[in-house]
Amino acid sequence: MKEAQPRTIFLKDYKKPPFLIDETVLHFDLNEKNAIVRSRLDVRRNPDADSRPKDLYLDGVELELNSVAVDGVLLNKGQYEELSEGLKVLDVADTFVLECETLIRPQENTCLEGLYKSSSMFCTQCEAEGFRRITYYLDRPDVMSRFKTTICADNSLYPVLLSNGNETDKGDLDNGRHFVTWEDPFRKPCYLFALVAGNLLNIDDQYTTMTGRKVDLRMFVEPQNKDKCEHALNSLKASMKWDEEVYGREYDLDIFMIVAVDDFNMGAMENKGLNIFNSSCVLAKPDTATDATYQRIEAIVAHEYFHNWSGNRVTCRDWFQLSLKEGFTVFRDAEFSADMNSRTVKRIEDVNLLRTAQFAEDAGPMSHPVRPASFIEISNFYTLTIYEKGAEVVGMIHRLLGAELFRKGSDLYFERHDGQAVTTDDFIQAMQDASGKDLTQFKRWYDIAGTPVIDVDYSYDKSAQTFTLTLKQSCPSSNAGDAVEPFHIPFAFALLDSNGCNIPLIQQDDAVFANAPTELVLDFVEQEQTFVFQHIEKTPVPSLLRGFSAPVRLKETHSRDQLLFLMSNETDGFNRWDAGQKLAVDIIRSMSEDYIKGEPLSVDSRLIEAYRGLLISKSIDKALLSKMLLLPSESYLIELSEVANVDAIHHARNFVRDTLANQLKPELMQCYHDNSDLDVPYSADFTSIARRSLKNTALALLLSAGDPDALALAESQYANAENMTDQSASLIALVNSDFSEQREAALKSFYARWSKDPQVVEQWLSIQCGSPKYGTLENVKSLMSHEAFDIKNPNKVRSVIGAFCNQSLVNFHMASGAGYEFLADNVIKLNTLNPQIASRLVTPLTRWKKFDQDRQALMQGQLKRILGEESLSKDVYEVVSKSIK
C-alpha cells in the first residue's frame, strides 16, 4: 500500500470548490485483468469560488494514467503533473473539456472502495472518497454533476450492466461483448455514483406513487438468491408509502434498483436509483433469516430509500456535515420502524445501543461532536455519534417543535435546498424559520462532544403541596473542557400517584388549572434549573426523562422500591423497561462487589418477585415483556463501571440469571409453552416476533442454568424448527449451555445443513465466536482456518474476530492479554488488505481506560505494536494514534 501522509483536515479550512463539473461522461471497459475508464468532464470555474487558481487539481488514488486531453488535444508531460494522490492540469482556461483515460485493477482491489470484484460481479462503493479510485475527479460532495455512463463487458459473463438513472441505450459489440448506457437526470456528487456488472437475476415489482406515476422496482441477485427478495421489496414499498405520507416525499426516477453483494464494508449504500446492499442486510427467507434480520432489513432498506431525499436530493456540503444526512435519515428510519412495529420496543433497542456503545465512544479517545471539527480519515467518522447521536439530536428537535411544526420545517428544508449541498446549520435554520422557535442554544448539540450528565434532585412539600424538581447539567468529557455552556435539553417528565396514575402538572405560573397536561417536555436550558409543581396532594413518584427524551446520563436517586413500583406502574413504556434495567444494574453491581470481596452471592428477592410478576401478568404487552426479561448486557454493565472487572460482572450477572431460571422455572416453562403455538407459515409481524422472542428468552434462561427439561425442549425445537429464528435460538441456547455433547452435535448438523448459504454460515460463526462459554480463543483461531472463513470478506471477519472481541468479553479480556494480541495480529493483517475494516475492528482495544492497570498496559502495548507497523493506513493510524496515552 502506498503510504499517505496522515494530514488533518479542518472544518474551519473549508473553501468553496474553485471548479465545477457540469457534465460527467464515463466509459468503462471491464476486462478480466483490469478496467479501462475514460472520462469526459465539462469543467468550468466556480463563479463563487474564494480563489482563482491557475491549475486544476483532481483527486485520484492508485490510478494508472493512459492519457489526458483538454478540448480534444492530448496534453504532453509538461502540461500536467501526476501526484501521489491526484493530477494537476496546468494553466487551465475558464471553461474546458477534460478527457482522461485511466487503467484500474478491480480484481486486485481488496479495500472494497472504488470499483472492485465481489465473487463474479463488478461493483462499486464510492462514499466517502472511493470515486477517486475510479478516475481523476473533484471528489467532494459539493461538486454536483449530471452523469452519463456507458459500460462495456463480456456478454456471457456480465449480461447485466447497471448504473444510476435510466437506461438510454444498449447494444452488441465485437468479440462477444455488449454495452449499456445509463443517464441520471439529477445532478449528484460522485460519492453517489454506482456501477454493477454481473450474471444476475432480477426480481421485479412495481409501486404507484402518490401522483400516480408507476415506478419499476427491481432487485438484482445471484441466481441462488432469487427466493430471498420478497421481504426487501415489501419493505421498499412500505418505505415509499411512508415517506409520502409522513414527509410528503415522492420518488423521482422511473426505476429503483437494489443489488445484493457478498463483499461489502458496511450495510448498504444509497447510490442514486441503484442501492447496493451487503447480502446480509437484504436477503431473507424464513428458513435462513432470523426475526432480527427481518427487522434489520426493513430498517436498512428504508434508510437507504429515505436517503433519496435526505442525502441525495439535498446532500452535504462537506464531510463534516455527514450527520446532516445520516442523523436525519436514521431518525426517519427509526420513526418508520416504530410505525411498522412496536414503538416502545424500537425505542428500547435504540437507546440500548446508544447508551452501551455511543456513550462509550463519546467517552473514549475517538470522541467527536455530531459535527466534527477535524479528521484524518473520513471513513473513521461513520460512527455511532454521527448516526445514532445525530438521530437523537434530530429527535430532540422533533420533540421541541412537535410533529406538525417539524414537518413544516422539513418541507421548507427540502424545498429551499433541493439540488444543493448544504450544512447542518442550514437544516436548523429551516427548522427555526418554519417553526418560529429559537434554536440558537440548541445548536450546541452539534459542536460539543461528550455525553451531558444531568443530576436530578427532588423534594415533596406536604404542607405546601408542591413538588420541586431541580436539574443540574454538566458535560465532563467534552471537547470544550470546563467552559461548556448549557445545552438546550428537552426533559420529558411526569408524576405518578400511588396507583400509577399520571398527576396533572400545574407549574407555579400556570394561570389556568383546567386541562393541565400530565406529561411535560421541560425546556431545560440553564446550568441549574428548578421546576415547581403545585396542588400535589400526596407524595408522587417522578417519571424522569420519559422516552429517553435526550441523549444524556441521568444521575438520579430512585430507590429499589421506587424502581419496583415503576416496573409495574410506569405508563411510559420505555421508562417502565428502564426501571427494570436500573434495578437489575443496581443488584448486579453490588453483587459484583461481593464477588470481588470473595463474599457469597445472593440475589435481592425483590428482583425475582418482580420478574415473577411480569411473567404472570395478563396485561403486559408481549413485545415489552420480551425486552423486560432480558438482563442488562455485560457490555452495558462495563460501560457503567468506572473500572470494570469483567469477570466479576460476568459471574454476578450469570448468578442472577441462574437464580431467576431456578426460581421461576414453572413460570418460564409456562411462558415457553404459551408462546410456542405460533401459526405457521412464518410471519414477521411484530406480534409474532414478540412471541417467538419471549419463548426463546425463556428457553435461553432455563437452559443456561442447566435445566434438563429445558435441554429436551431445546433439542426438540432445534430438530423441528420451521424457521431460522427458532433454529438459531435453540442453537445459541445449546452453545451457551454446559451440555457439550449436544452443543457439538447441533453445531455440526447446522453446518452440514447450511454450509452453502453464506448468510447462515455467518450466523454459525458468530454464535460460536461470540459465546462467553464457547468463544474461547483456541476455538476462534481454529475457525479462522475453517473452509468457511475468508479474511477478505468483511462479513466473515465481523462474524469471527468482531464477535469474539465484542461479545465474548470474558475471553477477549483474559488476564494473559492473549485476546488483545490476537486482535492486534488481525488488525495488522487487515491494515494492508482492508483499512476500513481494520480500523473498525480495533475499537475494543481503544477502550482501555475502562479496565484495571494490568489490562490497560496490555492493551496499550498492543496499540503501540500496531502503531509501530510500517505502512500504516490513514484509517488505522488515526484511531490508534489517538488512542495511545
Q: Return residues touching ligand B3K (CB under 6 A).
A: 127-128, 266, 268-270, 303-304, 307, 326, 379, 382
User: Can you say whether the dihedral through the CA atoms of 876, 878, 879, 884 is positive or negative?
Assistant: positive
Task: Give min distance, CB of 268 to ligand B3K, in A.
Answer: 6
Query: Grid coordinates standing for 337?
Result: 420502524
Between 382 and 446, name the residue whose CB sits nearer to ligand B3K.
Answer: 382
Task: Give min distance, CB of 874 to ligand B3K, in A.
Answer: 13
Tell me, by CB under 5 A, how many residues bind Zn ion. 2
Are the beta carbons of 519 and 502 closer than 8 angstroms?
yes
Between 268 and 541, name the residue whose CB sits nearer to ligand B3K.
Answer: 268
Task: Give min distance, CB of 790 to Zn ion, in A.
Answer: 27
Give the Cα separation of 661 and 668 in Å (integer): 8
β-strand 268-269 against 274-278: which pairing, if any?
Answer: antiparallel
SS3 call for 87: strand
Between 127 and 726, name the residue whose CB sits nearer to ligand B3K.
Answer: 127
Give the Cα separation of 453 and 487 in Å (integer): 11
Residue from 32, 137, 30, 42 nearest 86 by CA? 137
Query: Grid coordinates standing for 525?
Result: 436550558
Between 293 and 329, name the residue whose CB sits nearer to Zn ion.
Answer: 329
Are the beta carbons of 123 and 160 closer than 8 angstroms?
no
Between 141 and 490, name the residue whose CB sits nearer to ligand B3K.
Answer: 141
Give the Cα separation of 399 and 633 in Å (integer): 29
Element (H, E) at 203: strand 201-208
- What is the full DSSP assignment across 469-483? EEEEEE-TT-TTGGG
Report which residue's Cβ sits closest to ligand B3K. Answer: 127
Q: Which residues are catalytic?
A: 304
Are the beta carbons of 121 and 199 closer than 8 angstroms?
yes
Element (H, E) at 219: strand 214-221
Query: Grid coordinates standing for 346?
Result: 424500537
Are the beta carbons of 463 and 530 closer than 8 angstroms?
no
Between 297 and 588, name the residue whose CB sits nearer to ligand B3K.
Answer: 297
Give all strands (DSSP E) within 462-555, no chain letters: 466-474, 489-496, 506-507, 520-524, 528-534, 541-544, 553-555
Give the Cα separation of 728 and 717 in Å (integer): 10
Give all strands (DSSP E) within 31-113, no chain letters: 35-45, 56-59, 64-70, 73-74, 80-83, 86-89, 95-104
Give the Cα separation of 314 and 187 in Å (integer): 11
β-strand 315-316 against 421-422: which pairing, if any?
Answer: parallel
Q: Helices marked H in 494-572 — which ranges? A: 560-569
Are the beta carbons of 378 and 356 closer than 8 angstroms?
no
Using CB under 5 A, which residues numbered 327 to 346 contact Zn ion? Answer: 329
Residue from 38, 260, 28, 66 nearest 153 by CA? 28
Residue from 748, 747, 671 nearest 713 by CA? 671
Rounded to the nearest 10 degrees, what angle do helices 724-735 and 686-704 cross at?
20
Are the beta carbons of 102 and 136 closer than 8 angstroms?
yes
For 16, other C-beta atoms within 10 Å of its C-beta total: 14
Between 128 and 783, name the residue whose CB sits nearer to ligand B3K.
Answer: 128
Cα distances (angstroms) measured from residue 746 to each of 119, 206, 735, 749, 785: 30, 42, 8, 5, 20
Between 60 and 327, name the residue whose CB sits nearer to ligand B3K.
Answer: 327
Are the beta carbons of 721 and 754 closer than 8 angstroms?
no
Which residues of this protein are in contact with Zn ion, per CB under 5 A?
Answer: 326, 329
